[in-house]
Chain A
């Protein structure tokens, strides 16, 4: 086995970060590294989920001496309520992002800022939903479909349409367990309602609703976000790009896009490629314009346009610290309010664009479907004009970058697999080649690795360390979000990285022409993974929970991640977490979620495993995969 250290290591990335932190120190700029120190140690009640502040009788904190809150709720009720609220926050966030995409689709028009780039996918979804497509103008169909999708949010009766994509067995489990998601907003509202003072304190009921709220995200709002983003901006196909901080270009105007909603970044990318703008940039003394991305917005534009990825969640401050960032333009979610004050230490313009994410010390240019083109152009211009304000003595772009092949939507994965089909014996357009290669043992299984960074884990070490060990063991990875960017930054999405993998995976990568870690998109795109698991189970002829497959979020931090965890587990995929979800305070809740014979396991045939020791977390995943293989007799 060749040495992984030929690729970019975490140590090299840390060295780059340290050189940027020197600039911060010189300027007395505040960074998360410092703030983590200020906030440590963290509140123990908060960490264990045993603090209740949902009414003003408290806050109540559970201790052995004070085992119940003022209302009489025990620790299990409190922990479970907090857990459900956390989930609801995540589900609301993803789903509202999805809603915004539906609105954009509703506003799409011929020749407009937003158009239908994948009409075939639109027709496919419309047919799935029983919407007549024959003889219909594509924009009429777009508006009609968007409206049906928007109605999913508040539908008074029935269940999420997307759930029909799941295998029958999975749907049966959901129905039986009473967790089949209904209207998207309803599940969020009900979650808040259930956790109001004086409502649910029964942990089983609260955890059950957590699963349903999660499902309304993964099989509801997030799926809207993913599917209609594809319709609007194109379904991702494999393309080559680059990753890590070195993608920023010293002599160019650097615009960094950050956040989650592709509607903004798509337009910025469009105008940054406008010859008029490039000429303007040259006029202002730059050689050109470089757009790079941070966080999931980076994933969206990387997947569709090959825009390079400068970094993931915990590198958002780094791009400003290079002193070469003319503008950091943000939409929603995971944006540090710290960027405002930090950008003031440099010439960088911190531009917020969404009424959802308003922050101090920012320039606010509100973005809407109607004014998108005009505003995007304005933002690009602003960045160009800011180039001359750079302080050359502060410019430091660490020269770290690596190749990455991204763009593996489910459609693209099937297309790639068609490449290894034999027209004399195989069906095209299926996941059967993947099923066969796992059944035979050439690949042992797959891990879907997702999630954020979290200062509680040395940034990216868990993502990258786990991935390398899994790859050596012939386990293929599908990834999204900041996990995907960690992989990209470390060179694991370069098809050449296959040579460091186990022989089976190495061969598969070579034959199919893929990197060993497949980038499936942003965190909303974990819905793609649900489709992948469903289709694989159907093509395999087994249940999702029987597949040698697991989910993993080793460095997660947000409410969205908890929502995701709930729907991934509820879909039947064993899920491994490297950070505790604030439930340690209740053994009952912990057992409901994590017990091998707990309620969640009995409802959906999968459960959570939490282990903050990354090595043992990895061993547990490998064992999980091998156990599932044994159970299948393969």
Chain B
């Protein structure tokens, strides 16, 4: 038998030789001065940057970095040697892949492969990782024993919410079976060759940097973080060659166990390298190996249910039926009803069912969840209702967008053929509401209307409630409530970050409002959201409170001493890394520029979202930069200490349009200015400072009359 160490050493030599060859060829073709950049990332070649602390910007620099990678591949026959050789192999893989990007920024265009992940893609993982919506990642390598088995495996992982990365032949197998593969369905065909693993490790180390703020070059720090906090594992189908074994050693160093069915020259290592020849049993074997416990939702519907389907797109051609709130009366509504009037788990469908409509029909439909419980408060209605989107979307073959009376639900032909009917929407909501809100919801029943008059009536009734809620929301201000809340949900990944959630400043991920925090506290009094009293205000302009300082100090375990609620310059609130938006000061105009995760383009700061975002995150305080939620932009408390939202000089157009009404209303209240949104530049106007200044002057933007920020 060939020893495990010898296999790792041989495999890492092979990968390194290939990397060296790729770099030499690229240098020969393009020259040493040619730029070497990967698109949409602020972290250069992230594996090299993170593990070795070396920034690569040209091919010459990449070539110069090769000896440092080779130096990791030591050969003393100790575990340390296979570990560092393994990580070195992953870095070599990144180098091979990066060389493709030296020639073009889109080497995989026109193929089925994804290749490099953008920083924005990495950042979208933040919230679902924290909430355990994504309980783990699997890297699947090679062709499965059969295409059918490949499909079963993927479906199995998706049903459990596991994010799937695919390398090699399994991609062709899934393609042959018409399986949807993309980032949104959490099943990504990364690349055809084993070196595509470099992209995955790049994503892993960037997540570690972004959420854990591990120092560049802190090799042990990266491994510690991934071991403790990133629940990934590898499924490698036989035959597993030396180069894959070497990658496996790297994976194991990072804390990711490898499961294989290859027995030739393969060595069992408990909890690290597991041989299971029964490939059909791999999902459970893998989850156990990585200590991933899946909360299984008992949702009685005829299609698979899992977080992986949250991002699934149903195209028109695949659509059986569509609920279309833009054309007809539709809505979804969580309503408090007297306990005595609720028959728990009763699901009523009033009107025609899905099989009574023509294929492709656009129908009206309302869903009302009637709930109550002894600890229930009407303030929880919107909290629960906002989850309907996620609840419904997780059913395979069902796509849900929007909220309130502007919803769209598509039922795919596949789901319909599997027997999915209107009542199953009710089953989903019932099961999930009872599962997630069992501390406050004692009883729940669901009413679904598909009749025109029924829908009209429900919509009207709901709109009255929605209007009342909005009024109530407006009246709930930082001043009017007795306390704020902490949110430390992210600490699983960002151990020293603490959010302080107030009515006018929601959590930076955009997912936790003050009401959410309140409900979370109610649901789990010892959980992530704790009451922060606000008795001792030191400075109401900055939003500086003794109580807030004490809370951040306590919950960051001493990492943070002071945090203000309303300033970007003085002790700004920290970020975990999963913020929706990043705001940074623009010195020429004395204003601030905001960009969001979805916007990949350049800003007048000369930085993209990724680059700005890399300035903060991981619980660090960086005056002048601040991560926040989208809704915070229109808050009266948005950088109130520096003069408020009047400082905003630039926003991505899509974001501006989305928030325009609220921005205008707030600006009117604060400054008496009409149509303030029109004074804010966007990428269609300019992405450089000169253009920005000209535009602001032309619009007579209020920032021009404000005090300097620095």
Contacts and interface: CB of A to CB of B under 8 A. Distances in A.
Nearest to B6: A441
A541 to B, nearest CB: 13
A420 B270 contact: yes
A422 interface: yes
Contact of A511 (B1, B268, B271, B276): B271
Given A424-B276, A424-B281, A425-B276, A436 B268 contact: yes
A496 to B, nearest CB: 13
Contact of B268 (A440, A444, A633): A440
Given A473-B78, A503-B79, A441 B270 contact: no
Interface in A421-460: 421-426, 433, 436-437, 439-444
B254 to A, nearest CB: 11
Contacts of B276: 422, 424-425
Contacts of A422: 270-271, 274, 276, 285, 288-289
B5 interface: yes
Contacts of A504: 78-80
A425 B275 contact: yes
A423 B288 contact: yes
A423 B291 CA distance: 12
Contacts of A68: none
Please indicate which of the listed interface residues A421, A424, A444, A510 has the most CB atoms of chain B within 10 Å of its own CB.
Answer: A424
Interface string B264-301: 00011111111110100100110011000000000000
Interface residues of A, number: 28
Given A436-B269, A507-B272, A511-B270, A502 B80 contact: yes
Contacts of B79: 441-443, 474, 502-505, 507
A279 interface: no
A52 B203 CA distance: 76
Contacts of B281: 424
A441 B80 CA distance: 11
Contacts of A425: 274-276, 285
Contacts of A36: none
Interface in A390-443: 417, 420-426, 433, 436-437, 439-443
Given A424-B284, A503-B83, A437 B78 contact: no
A634 interface: yes
Contacts of A420: 270-271
A502 B82 CA distance: 12
A501 to B, nearest CB: 10
Interface string A325-347: 00000000000000000000000
Contacts of B284: 424
Interface string B1-20: 10111000000000000000
Nearest to B268: A436
A633 B6 CA distance: 12
Contacts of B268: 436, 439-440
Nearest to B284: A424
B462 to A, nearest CB: 49
A440 B271 contact: no
A423 B284 CA distance: 9
A470 to B, nearest CB: 12
B77 interface: yes
Given A441-B3, A441-B77, A507-B79, A436 B285 contact: no
Given A503-B78, A503-B79, A634 B275 contact: no
B4 A511 contact: no
Contacts of A444: 78
B275 A474 contact: no
A442 B270 CA distance: 10
A313 B435 CA distance: 60
A450 B160 CA distance: 50
Contacts, number: 73
B78 A424 contact: no
A440 B77 CA distance: 11
A433 B83 contact: no
B3 A437 contact: no
Interface in A557-611: none
A634 B267 CA distance: 10
A511 B273 CA distance: 13
Please indicate which of the listed interface residues B252, B267, B271, B273 has the most CB atoms of chain A within 10 Å of its own CB.
Answer: B271
Contacts of A633: 1
A442 B1 CA distance: 16
Interface string A282-295: 00000000000000
B267 A439 contact: yes
Interface in B226-274: 227, 252-253, 267-274
Contacts of A473: 78
Interface in A279-325: none
Interface string A503-521: 1110100110000000000
Interface in B72-88: 77-80, 82-83
Contacts of A505: 79
A633 B3 CA distance: 8
A440 B269 contact: yes
B123 to A, nearest CB: 29
Contacts of B273: 440
A446 to B, nearest CB: 15
A502 B270 contact: no
A424 B272 CA distance: 14
Contact of B267 (A421, A436, A503): A436
B2 to A, nearest CB: 10
Contacts of B271: 420, 422, 511
Nearest to B267: A440
Interface in B59-102: 77-80, 82-83
A526 to B, nearest CB: 26
Interface in A482-509: 502-505, 507
Contacts of A441: 3-5, 77, 79, 82, 267
A508 B581 CA distance: 42
A622 to B, nearest CB: 11
Please indicate which of the listed interface residues A420, A422, A437, A507 has the most CB atoms of chain B within 10 Å of its own CB.
Answer: A422
Contacts of B278: 424
A504 B289 CA distance: 18
Nearest to A426: B270
B262 to A, nearest CB: 14
B419 to A, nearest CB: 32
A503 B80 contact: yes
Contacts of B288: 422-424
B78 to A, nearest CB: 6
A464 to B, nearest CB: 21
Please indicate which of the listed interface residues A420, A437, A441, A634 has the most CB atoms of chain B within 10 Å of its own CB.
Answer: A441
A3 to B, nearest CB: 14
Contacts of A511: 270-272
Interface string A610-634: 0000000000000000000000011
Nearest to A423: B288
Contacts of A634: 3
Contacts of B269: 436-437, 440, 442
A28 to B, nearest CB: 51
A117 B451 CA distance: 72
A437 B252 CA distance: 13
Nearest to A504: B79
15 contacts: A422-B271, A422-B274, A422-B289, A424-B276, A436-B269, A439-B267, A440-B267, A441-B267, A442-B79, A503-B79, A503-B83, A504-B79, A504-B80, A507-B272, A511-B272
A-B CB proximity, top 10 nearest: A504-B79, A440-B267, A503-B80, A420-B270, A424-B285, A433-B270, A436-B268, A503-B79, A420-B271, A440-B269
Interface of B: 1, 3-5, 77-80, 82-83, 227, 252-253, 267-276, 278, 281, 284-285, 288-289
Given A422-B274, A473-B78, 18 more contacts: A422-B271, A422-B289, A424-B276, A425-B276, A436-B268, A439-B268, A440-B4, A440-B268, A440-B273, A441-B79, A442-B79, A442-B269, A502-B79, A503-B253, A504-B79, A511-B272, A633-B1, A634-B3
